[in-house]
Amino acid sequence: MELEPLRDGHGRLIGDLRVSVTDRCNFRCQYCMPAEGLPWLERREILSFEEIARLVALFSAMGVRDLRLTGGEPLVRRGFPQLVRMLSDIEDVAEVSVTTNGFLLERDAAALVQAGMSRFNVSIDSLQGDRFYELTRRDALPQVLRGLEVLASFPEAHPIKVNAVAIREFTEEEVLPFAEFARRTPYEVRFIEYMPLDADHAWTPEQVLTGEEIRAAITAVYPLEPEPREPHATARVYRFADGHGRIGFINPVSEPFCGDCNRIRLTADGRLRTCLFSLNETDLREPLRAGADDSELEQIIRDAVWRKELKHHVGEPGFIQPARSMSAIGG
d(CA 267, CA 281): 9
Could you tell me the pTM of the whole model?
Answer: 0.95
How far is C-alpha 231 from the geometric centre of its chain's CA atoms? 18
d(CA 247, CA 155): 20
Q: Which of 21, 23, 28 is nearest to 53 (CA)?
A: 21
For CA atoms 38, 74, 19, 50, give the dihedral sign: negative
The CATH architecture annotation of domain 16-329 reads Alpha-Beta Barrel (3.20)
**DSSP structure string for 283-298:** E-HHHHHTT--HHHHH
d(CA 67, CA 83): 12
Strand, coil or helix: what is 95? strand
Which tens digit of pLDDT belongs to each residue from 31-61?
888 888 888 999 999 999 999 999 999 999 9
Q: Using DSSP bridges, classify how beta strands 160-166 and 119-123 pair: parallel, antiparallel or unpaired.
A: parallel
Q: Where are the domains of the chain?
A: 16-329
Contact 108, 80 (CB under 8 A): yes
What pLDDT does residue 190 have? 98
d(CA 239, CA 242): 8
d(CA 80, CA 64): 21
State the helix-helix crossing angle for 175-184 and 211-219, rounded to 10 degrees: 60
What pLDDT does residue 316 have? 80
Taking residue 172's Cβ as centre, other Cβ atoms within 10 Å add up to 14
d(CA 161, CA 246): 10
What pLDDT does residue 114 have? 98
Strand, coil or helix: what is 182? helix
Digitized pLDDT (tens) for each residue of the chain, 331 residues in all = 789 999 999 999 999 999 999 999 999 998 888 888 888 999 999 999 999 999 999 999 999 999 999 999 999 999 999 999 999 999 999 999 999 999 999 999 999 999 999 999 999 999 999 999 999 999 999 999 999 999 999 999 999 999 999 999 999 999 999 999 999 999 999 999 999 888 888 889 999 999 999 999 999 999 999 999 888 889 999 999 999 999 999 999 999 889 889 999 999 999 999 999 899 999 999 999 999 999 999 999 999 999 999 988 887 888 888 888 888 898 7
What pLDDT does residue 303 have? 98
d(CA 143, CA 250): 26
Q: Which residues pair with 66 in a beta bridge?
A: 16, 95
Strand, coil or helix: what is 37? coil
d(CA 275, CA 263): 7
What pLDDT does residue 32 have? 87
CA dihedral in degrees (186, 77, 128, 138; nearest 10)? -170
d(CA 69, CA 121): 10
Contact 193, 210 (CB under 8 A): yes
Q: DSSP letter at 221?
A: T
Q: What residues contact 318, with CB distance under 8 A and at least 6 apart? A: none
Q: Which residues pair with 7 in a beta bridge?
A: 13
Amino acid at 47: L
